[in-house]
Amino acid sequence: MALIIFDFDGVLADTLNDLLQFGQEACDELDIKHVVKKDDLSNLEVMSFASYGRACEVPEDLVDEFVQICLKRIAEKKSPPAIFNGLSNIVRRFAVNNMIAVVTTNSSQNVNAFIVEHDLDECVHAVYGVDLPGSKAQKISIARDQLAATKRESVFMIGDSLSDIRAAKEAFVTSIAVTWGHQSLEYLLRGDPDYVIHFPHDLIEIIEKKTIRN
């Protein structure tokens, strides 16, 4: 048995186009003269809506408003984002013998709507969103304390950003970097992840083999 923690945007949810669109809409609403580009997301040291706003040249006194506009746009979207191909079945497979959690800078409300939309509400045991206090590393530690059966149990953090990898290391859990998300392989390698994978199915071999060995 293991605790498997997923980041949300760019790992489970294919939200890149939404984030670019909503970031631009937030800038326009706040009268920020900035054209939002993919690099505004992919080059972030810390993957969060606040950091995203700063990358979009939002003044510090308007960053919180930028964050709230983006989160509101996501919540108001008619349907939650798509899940990356193959991940629904993988989450269901892992949930049979493991605990599943999501740690994210998105809101718990948005993540829970996504989970229900994709029929994963019986598989995901907890969501730790931006609405809960603490850093991502602290939330990983909280998830471990609340959901891991023993201190010796394997804990994995699956992320698509440099800050995900650094948070996993800070929390002393195994880091798995995925390349189908928002940041490039070159950027991810700066965090020295324990594993790097290019396809969702690769998670099965890494996690099940390591769990069996333990």
Amino acid, single-letter form, for residue 199: F
pLDDT in tens, 101-154: 999 999 999 999 999 999 999 999 999 999 999 999 999 999 999 998 777 789
6: helix, strand or coil: strand
Percent of residues, the chain, with pLDDT higher than 90: 86
Domain 2-14+81-213 has CATH 3.40.1050.10: no
Q: How far apart are CA 178 and CA 210, in angstroms?
A: 17
Q: Which residues of 128-158 are buried (b: 16+ CB within 10 A; e: fewer)?
A: bbbeeeeebbbbbbbbbeebbeeeebbbbbb
Question: Residue for token digits 């229900």?
Answer: 116
Residues in CB range of 61: below 8 A, 6 or more apart: none
pLDDT band at 6 (very low <50, low <70, confident <90, very high): very high
167: helix, strand or coil: helix
Instruction: Indicate the domain borders of the chain.
Output: 2-14+81-213, 16-76
